Structures are given as C-alpha cells and as structure tokens.
Structure 1
Amino acid sequence: MEEVSTSLSIDEMKQIEGEIMEKAHKLFDAKDADGFARLLNDSKPQFAKLTNTRTAKIVRLCIEYLIQIPGVNEEREQTVNEWIEWSKDEKRAFLRLRIELCLAQLYYQMEEFQKMRTLLMKLLKEVKRLDDKRLLVEIHILESQCFIRLRDLPRARASVTSARMEANVVYIPPLMQARLDYMSGMLYSQEKDFKTAYSYFYESFEAYDGLNNKEQAISALKMLVLSKVMQNKPEDVTTLFTGKLTLKYNTPEIIAIRAISSSLDHRNLDEFQAALNTYPKELKEDYGVASHLEQLSDTLFEQHLSRIIEPYSVVEIAYVAQLINMKVEVVEAKLAQMILDKKLSATLNQDTQCLTLTEEPAKSNLFSTSTELMEGMRKILDSLAQKASLIK
C-alpha cells in the first residue's frame, strides 16, 4: 500500500499530481525544455506534501518528457543533473538511478558515447548489487546501443545476450521486449546477418504496431525493409506493402526506404542518388540506414554497370562512363574488380579501352556424378566382400 501523508488525503494528492502532469503534457507539446525546469522547481513545495512514490513518478515522467524534446542539449543536461543531485540530497536512491538512466539516453542523443558508456558502467555495478532485473535489462539495452555506435560489436552482442538472460527470469513489459528485439535486429544487421535481423525487426514492428506506438513502429519497419534490400530481395518489399500497411505507414521515412528498394529493383544508381538527395534526413541521418549506404551504393554501382553492358558483346569503357556520368578510371577500376570477383565474365583490353564480354562456360556435372558413381560401387564391393567372408 502507498504511504499516505498526514496532511493530505489520497484524492487531494491525486489532484496535485494531475495538475502537475497536465502542465507537463502542455510543455511537452510545446517542446519547452526551460518550462520543464521551471515546473519541477516550482513543484518542490508540493512534493513535500506527496508520498515518495508519487513524487518519484512525477519527477521521472517529467525527466523522460524532457529528454524527448529535440535540441537544447545543454539546458536538458543541466536540468537532469540538478535533479540527480536533488535525488541524492533527498536520499531517493531508486529515483536517482532512473534519472541517471535518462541522462544516459540524453548522452546517446547528443552522441556523447564515451560519457554514456562511463555512466552505464557505474549504473550497472549499482543495479547488480540491488538485483533489479528489469532495470538491468534497460541498462543492457542502452549499453548495446552505445557499443553499436562505438563499433564494438563483440561487446554489443554481450550486452544483448545479458539483456535476454535477465528478461528470461523477470516479466518485462511488451514495450521493453519490443526495444530488445529491435536492438537484436540492429546487432545482426551490423554483423551483416540480414536474414536473422529481419526476423527480429519483424517481431519488434508487430509489437510496436500492436501497442499503437507509431513512431517506433516506423523505425522498426524501415529497418525491416532495409534488411530485405540488403538481401537483394526488393520484390519482397513490394509484396510487404499491400493493403492497410501502405495506408497506415505512408510516411516520409517509409517512402524514402521504399525509394531505395525501388532503385535496387530497377538496378539504377541514378534513382539511388536521387533518393539520397530527396530524403537526406530519413536516410543519411539515421545511423541504422546510413551505416549500410556505402555497401548499397557499391552493390547498385555493379548492378547498374551490368544492366548497361548486358546488350553488348564489345563496348567502349568511355561510352559506359559517359552513360553513368562517371570518370573513365572509376568505371574501369570497378569493371576490373567485378571481373576478378567473378561477378562479370569479360576481359578488359587496355589497348582499345574496350570491354569484351564472354560467355560463361557451361557447368558440367560430370565430375560430381562420376564421384558419386564410384562411391556407390565402393560400397557395393565392400558389402560383397563382407558376405564372401561369411561364406568361408
């Protein structure tokens, strides 16, 4: 049961809480970071009248709203640190841990990954002593985010594994499970295992969609589509967006990633570059997508070249370079690489500066068939020898 103040009834405390949270919602809608700092400071006399549980809830929610307001990083960081100190002075250990977790999320937004890592390591030691499993899961999820951005994938994998182990022994809300699935997908996508990443992003998307959390659902859907694109399966993306899904998630983020998928389907590098120029915020500023753009660009460059030279048996390299508006040296180097990687059956003539396409030799199954036949005969002869030994 909640501890009741001697001066106020439960209904009166609920009224105070409601008034403060109503102001907080208005400040969040107005994106007023300074307003949150004033609201929390002005509410200190009211906190003295409320129980610890209600006070902790109000402060935590206000801080969570505050860190979601974009920009004004210095003001947000200062406010969060002030309330960490307030929690220490008031000896509110669990509230302090929650606010410090919010500070770690703020550091992630500010891309202060070393600060974030240091803070999370300190939090991890404290929370392990308290044995708060749910808070441990949250810390490990944030830790995996941090390590992925630091390109430390072994530690990111260790964090995701730890989060899953803790989640197996305690109930975690669906929203937290969705976050864990999303980070698992991010990890596998960074490790280039896009098939496994797709399954995790799909689980995450379904959870967010079921919880009507559209913002996070869009992020999961975008990464889900990217996983199909990176597997070179743009046709699956077309199948995915049928009916309700197309109408519900027809946002700039999804339109952008579908434009990338379309460029891959058409094997058109110009379409890819046009998508990047049209949707820089949705593609280049999203780390999950941006970290794969170079590989996608390279793949599309190869496919674009393949599409152009397909009709020819002999073609001038300068002509190909002119068609895709690139330097001859760049195109020649890429064609040479494709030939060496056996992605293209052709030869480059340095004297004529031409590319000569050759037919790939038909693959013969004679060797494998002969090997199987001889292995079968060996087994028959061994069987006959065993039977002959029994007759003796």
Structure 2
Amino acid sequence: MAGATMFDRAQSLNQMNRQDLSKIVASDLEVDENDEEQIRQKEQRILELGEAYKKEGKAKELADLIKVTRPFLSFLSKAKAAKLVRSLVDLFLDLEAETGIEVQLCKECIEWAKQEKRTFLRQSLEARLIALYFDTGMYTEALALGSQLLRELKKLDDKNLLVEVQLLESKTYHALSNLPKARAALTSARTTANAIYCAPKVQATLDLQSGILHAADERDFKTAFSYFYEAFEGFDSVQNARALTALK
C-alpha cells in the first residue's frame, strides 16, 4: 500500500478495528515541518477523511480522527488549526448519531485548546458546545457557558462568533419561555450583525428567530411571515434543509 494517501488507505480498511485504524492515520500525519505543501496536503486529506466518515455515518471513527490529528495541529497556524478542528467537530455533531459522547468530546477538545493556549479555537468550540447544550435541552448549562463566553467576546473583535452566541442565548431563553430576555438577546445579535457581513445562513437564522418571536410574543403574524419568508430565501440560497422549516 506504499504511496497510497491517508484517505485511500483508510477507505480500504473498513474491516480493521478502530484502534488499528487510528494508528494508521496517526502514522500518516508525520510531516516535515518545513514542507508547507506536504502540510497543506495532509490538512486536506484529514478533511476528506472526515467528510467520508460523515457520509458513511461512522461517528466513532470520526471522533477518533479528531483525537489522533491533534499532534498534527502544531504544524498549522492557530487560525488554520482552529478551522480544521471546528470543521471536524461540526462534521461529527452534524451526524446527529446520538452516540452519547458528543458533549464529552466537545469538552475534551476545549480542554486541549486551553492547554495549548489556543484561545480562538477554545471560544469557537465553546460556542458549539452551547449549541449542543441547547439541542439536548440542557438550557441551564447553555446559559451559564453563554454568559461567560459573551463577556469575553464583547472585549474582542470576533463579531461573527458574538452573533452566534447571542442568537443561541435568544433561542435558549425562548425555550425557557422567557420572551423578554429572548427578545433582548435577539436585538443584541441583530445590532452586532448590522456592523459586519453575515453569511446567508446566519442572516437566515436571525430572520427565523425574529419570526418565531413575533409570532409567539407579539402575535404579529404578518411581520412574522415576512421574516419566515426571508429566512426561507436565505436557507434556500445555501441549499440548507431548514428552508422548508422556515416556510412551514
């Protein structure tokens, strides 16, 4: 199998146990720190392997990949390392495989980021953990971590992540039927979003939350519908499955 890429080798090892597969992947991550092209190729192959695992529904293998790639991250800039880890974690969580290790995996990645003093990565992962807390009904934990992270982000210039956390705070308060605080958090998110370029998916999520609050709190269904339609168009433009949810 000499000369095969990490992706090719992993694809041909479907019957191999996870521990052996992790060793194969880890050995393939040995690189020359001065060879930028080799590092770039390895980074791309890790993403390809992660996407393949997601496509095949291999949640545990994807979780292992996240762990065994950590030593390789030292060859990347902090920004690139953060993007790679966040992408892999997103692939894992988007599987919605309910393996029972989602929260623990997020926490482990956050602890690793703390030890490595990778602040941006840690904050990005904490935002993902807040979303996970929300999705699993752990609202107290979501608000506690969100409040702590918001204090940090307001002192920094990462407004994209700030919008994400403010929006999660609004959704959590709405789930707890605290509509005044849900509205206040959404207003903060929109104010922050107005100062930056928002990706279509983020803007659509803001519109969807606005529609929900107008319908639930103010019973202003006409305004709510206009927001829902804006959300539908936004999600549809990026071919997001939530487009139909917004229209319904």
- TM interval, short-chain normalised: 0.7 to 0.9
**Any idea what the Cα deviations from partners look like across 1:77-127, whole Å, max 9, x if unmatched?**
111100000000000001100000000111111111111111111111111
Partners of 2:104 and 2:60 lie apart in 1 by 10
How far apart, in 1, do the equivalents of 2:36 and 2:44 lie? 12
2:107 aligned with 1:107: no
Residue 26 of structure 2 is matched in structure 1 by: none
Letter in 2 for 1:174: P
Alignment counterpart, residue 245 of structure 2, candidates 208, 213, 219:
219
Q: How far apart are the structure 1 equivalents of 2:140 and 2:115?
A: 27
Runs of 4+ in 1 over 4 A off after TM superposition: none
Q: 2:220 is matched with which residue?
A: 193
Distance 2:221 2:60 in 1: 42
Output the amino acid matched with 1:57: K
Task: Give the drift of 1:50.
Answer: 2.5
Aligned to 1:78: 104
Q: How many residues align?
A: 217
The TM-score with structure 2 as length reference comes to 0.83
Moved more, 49-58 or 88-97: 49-58
8 Å contact from structure 2 (residues 200, 237) kept in 1: no
Once the two structures are TM-superposed, the CA of residue 184 in structure 1 deviates from its matched residue by: 0.5
Quick check: 1:87–1:95 contact (8 Å CA) kept in 2? yes
Q: Distance in 1 between matches of 2:42 and 2:145?
A: 33
TM-score normalized by the length of structure 1: 0.53
Kindly indicate whether residue 54 of structure 2 is the aligned counterpart of residue 28 of structure 1: yes
| Stretch deviating more after TM superposition (97-106 or 52-61) | 52-61
Structure 1 spans left out of the alignment, 5+ residues: 223-392
Q: Deviations over 1:311-354 (max 9, x none)?
A: xxxxxxxxxxxxxxxxxxxxxxxxxxxxxxxxxxxxxxxxxxxx
CA distance in 2, matches of 1:128, 1:204: 26
Percent same amino acid among aligned pairs?
A: 39
Partner residue, 1:179: 205
| Structure of higher RCO (CA pairs closer than 8 Å, 6+ residues apart) | 2
Pair 114,71 (structure 1): closer, same or farther in 2 beyond 3 Å: farther
CA contact under 8 A between 2:32 and 2:38: conserved in structure 1? no
CA RMSD of superposed structures (Å): 1.6
Residue 233 (structure 2) aligns with: 206
Q: How far does residue 6 in structure 1 lie from its aligned partner after superposition?
A: 7.9
1:30-179 mapped onto 2 (5 Å cutoff): 30-72=56-98, 74-179=100-205
Deviations 1:25-67 (A, max 9, x none): 0121233332222101211232222332221111010111222
Q: What is the DSSP-based 3-state SS (H/G/I as helix, E as strand, rest coil) of the residue aligned with 1:151?
A: coil
Which whole-Å CA distance do the structure 1 matches of 2:75 and 2:119 have between them? Answer: 19
SS at match of 2:75: coil
Residue 283 (structure 1) aligns with: none
Amino acid at match of 1:70: E
Distance in 2 (alpha carbons) for counterparts of 1:127 and 1:69? 28
Task: State how far apart, in whole Å, the 2-side matches of 1:19 and 1:71 are.
Answer: 23
Query: Which amino acid in 2 is paired with 1:72?
Result: E
Alignment gaps of 5+ in structure 2: 1-30
Q: Report the Cα distance in structure 2 between the residues aligned to 1:189 and 1:168, rounded to whole angstroms.
A: 23
Give the 3-state SS of the residue equivalent to 1:111 in structure 2. Answer: coil
